[in-house]
Amino acid sequence: MNGQASRSVIVTGASTGIGWAVAQVLTQRGFHVFGSVRKAADAERLTAAFGPAVTPLIFDVTDEAAVRAAAGQVETALDGRPLAGLVNNAGIAVAGPLLHLPIDEWRRQLEVNLTGVVIATQAFAPLVGARKPVAGPPGRIVNIGSVGGRNANPFMAPYCTSKFGLEGLSESLRRELLPFGVDVVVIAPGAVATPIWDKADETDTSAYADTVYGPALERLRAYMLSIGKSGLPAERIGEAVHTALTVARPKVRYTITPQPMQMLMADLLPKRTLDRIVGKRLGLLPE
């Protein structure tokens, strides 16, 4: 128990997709995972899959009281030992043309993907070592971002805004935590083969069908589904998280994508050029 507790990690949003894969990889490599889920049924699935290597925590990252209660539960379990890491993974993806998007959807996107990260970080960072004195070497905070945190797609403004924001949040936080020696690392996945693509297939764009964006939205959805089917296995992201938690000198950001050349072009090409390429591909500009 002593060794296990000293290598314990929080993973938010562990019920499926990337969070589940991170829990799988970390437990296979000797970590104990406290995995957050929102439903008791998901907690039971975690326990059935991973046994005592995972301790489910039931909370929504936007519920500050519930997150702080879970932090107290973890602190009791650790018995004075620090966490090796906090992996802020929980998130959602809201899509739609910004001119027509319901403001409640915009708020929900930012509340989960940004405010939720702050709530979890405030609750668990002290257990990672962001307090003095600490009982052992400090851990690390790993924030799951996206390639959409550097290059934004049309109709994904809510999601991309949240991931651009996460980049700034992570950089500020990394510098604020210098007195404690707690590092902050961003993992930025591209397309990953997870159930999120099934949700994309079910997305109803009929509310925007009568706008100028209707045909382009359908093209974008078809494109997203096609790259999702050829996406990376989620375990690749789990391996990147393990690297970020364990290597002596981690990078501040790891980009993990099945399309590295496309990402390189997006980084290097002038933004106006990219505007024209994307606009023509989606039919937002004439050929």
pLDDT tens column, 104-129: 999 999 999 999 999 999 999 999 99
pTM for the model:
0.93
How far, in Å, are 17, 70, 104, 234, 257 from residue 240 at the CA level?
Answer: 15, 26, 34, 10, 11
Q: Is 159 a catalytic residue?
A: yes
**Residue 212 identity:** V
> For every one of its 287 residues, what pLDDT tens digit does the chain have, with 9 covering 90 and above?
334 444 999 999 999 999 999 999 999 999 999 999 999 999 999 999 999 999 999 999 999 999 999 999 999 999 989 999 999 999 999 999 999 999 999 999 999 999 999 999 999 999 999 998 767 789 999 999 999 999 999 999 999 999 999 999 999 999 999 999 999 999 999 989 876 555 555 566 788 988 999 999 988 888 877 777 778 999 999 999 999 999 999 999 999 998 888 888 889 999 999 999 999 999 999 87
Name the DSSP class of 1.
-
> Which of 110, 108, 126, 133 shows the shortest CA–CA distance to 10?
126
Q: Domain ranges for the chain, please list them.
A: 2-193+231-282
Of 159, 208, 213, 254, the catalytic one is 159
CATH placement of domain 2-193+231-282: 3.40.50.720
Q: Helices (H) and strands (E) in the chain — how many of each? A: 12, 9
pLDDT, residue 123, reads 98
For residues 32 and 4, what is the distance between their CA atoms, to the nearest angstrom? 6
Cis-peptide into 133, omega within 30 deg? yes
